[in-house]
Amino acid sequence: MSKDIDWGSLGFGYIQTDKRFVANYKDGAWDAGTLTGDATVTMSECACVLQYAQTCFEGLKAYRTEDGRVVCFRPDLNAARMADSCRRLEMPVFPEERFVQAVHEVVAANLDFVPPYGSGATLYLRPFMFGSNAVIGVKPATEFQFRIFCTPVGPYFKGGAKPITIRVSDFDRAAPHGTGHIKAGLNYAMSLHAIMDAHRQGFAENMYLDPATRSKVEETGGANFIFITKDGKLVTPKSNSILPSITRRSLMVVAERYLGMPVEHREVLLSELGDFAECGLCGTAAVISPVGKVVDHGREICFPSGMEQMGSYTQKLYDTLTGIQMGRIPAPEGWLHTIA
């Protein structure tokens, strides 16, 4: 490892690495794309992304497995999801096979930044696209840039995953028939006030409800929910305005195929939260963050798993998925993309 990085003390922040991938779309076509050492972007002050937020992104990780390979986890699903995001935002799709190839090239060009196995740190990859030409009337850009940079990040939870307390939010995340199901920057811009407000009130996250009836659980600003019933079933909320988390979809497979747990993907009512034994948030960054308590306007819903550790089913899900990712447990066909 030639990079002089203290892997154990890395936080979740941006560190500039050697190379990133850049491709440009102009006159109706993507160029060949290239790796570059230039970590900056220069564009018109009137670029569509700056005026009308025409941008979407993805997030995935590369890391070293127990047997010393460097791999990515299911990058084909990130490619497909970004294609969905682009179509909804009137942006040109970057072809899915080329997306996976670009992920491969970026990791291969920054191998020294892939943290060692067992450090808890990983190389986080951020593919993103934005409308780059000047647009003043409200319409889509005609020129776009697709980039993938990477940055080494520390374990999301230093010193283990303690259960968190979250609140039921009075803010809404995604309108019915809106953009909640795509990974658009605009969904995050409007969540920033809600998350800062939650933090000021002493909560780690917001639980967003469906805006139409405010009776059903959707997700948090950047993670899907999983619930465990008292008899060991995995339940995950279903809604057209939830972002389809790759971690959540993978956990559903892990529960069913590896742990023999029944899985239900269905609407989850706020009023039934008290019936669950365990609750967690899932996403690429933390894999699973256990939730110990949900506060709904003063009413506390405390899960039996408590505030000291993950519930036992959540722990099994976490251990199995991270075991698959790290090569300790055989992965389903196609889940690990080997880079080196």
**Is residue 127 a contact residue for ligand PLP (CB under 6 A)?**
no
Q: Measured from the CB atom, is 167 or 183 closer to ligand PLP?
A: 183
Told to check if 183 binds ligand PLP by CB under 6 A, we report yes
d(Cα 310, Cα 291) in Å, to the nearest integer? 8
Q: Which is nearer to ligand PLP, 56 or 109 (CB)?
A: 56
Alpha-carbon torsion (215, 220, 225, 230), positive or negative:
negative
Please give the size of the binding site for ligand PLP, defined by CB under 6 A.
13
Contact at 8 Å (CB) between 65 and 324? Answer: no
Residue with smaller CB distance to ligand PLP, 109 or 246 = 246
**Minimum distance between the CB of residue 216 and ligand PLP, rounded to whole angstroms?**
16
Shortest approach of ligand PLP to residue 31 CB, angstroms?
Answer: 28
Q: 263: which residues sit within 8 A by CB, 6+ positions away? A: 233, 234, 235, 236, 252, 255, 256
Tokens encoding 32 = 């060949």
| Run of H or E residues at 98 | helix 96-109
How many other CB atoms are found less than 10 A from the CB of residue 176?
Answer: 13
Does residue 75 bind ligand PLP (CB under 6 A)?
no
What would the x/- binding string for ligand PLP be over residues 238 to 257, using CB under 6 A? -----x-xxxx---------
Distance separating alpha carbons of residues 247 and 315, to the nearest angstrom? 15
Among 223, 226, 255, 326, binds ligand PLP (CB under 6 A): 223
Cβ 281 to ligand PLP, closest distance in Å? 8
CB of residue 304 to ligand PLP, shortest distance in Å: 25
Nearest distance, CB of residue 125 and ligand PLP, angstroms: 11
CA distances from 33 to 16, 108, 159 (A): 20, 16, 40
10 Å Cβ neighbour count for 259?
A: 16
Minimum separation from the CB atom of position 19 to ligand PLP (A)? 23
Which among 41, 245, 145, 303 is positioned nearest to 237, based on CA atoms?
245
Among positions 224, 236, 239, 241, the unique one binding ligand PLP when judged by CB under 6 A? 224
Q: Which of 105, 210, 219, 278 binds ligand PLP (CB under 6 A)?
A: 219
Q: Can you give the binding site for ligand PLP, defined by CB under 6 A?
A: 59, 183, 219, 222-224, 243, 245-248, 283-284
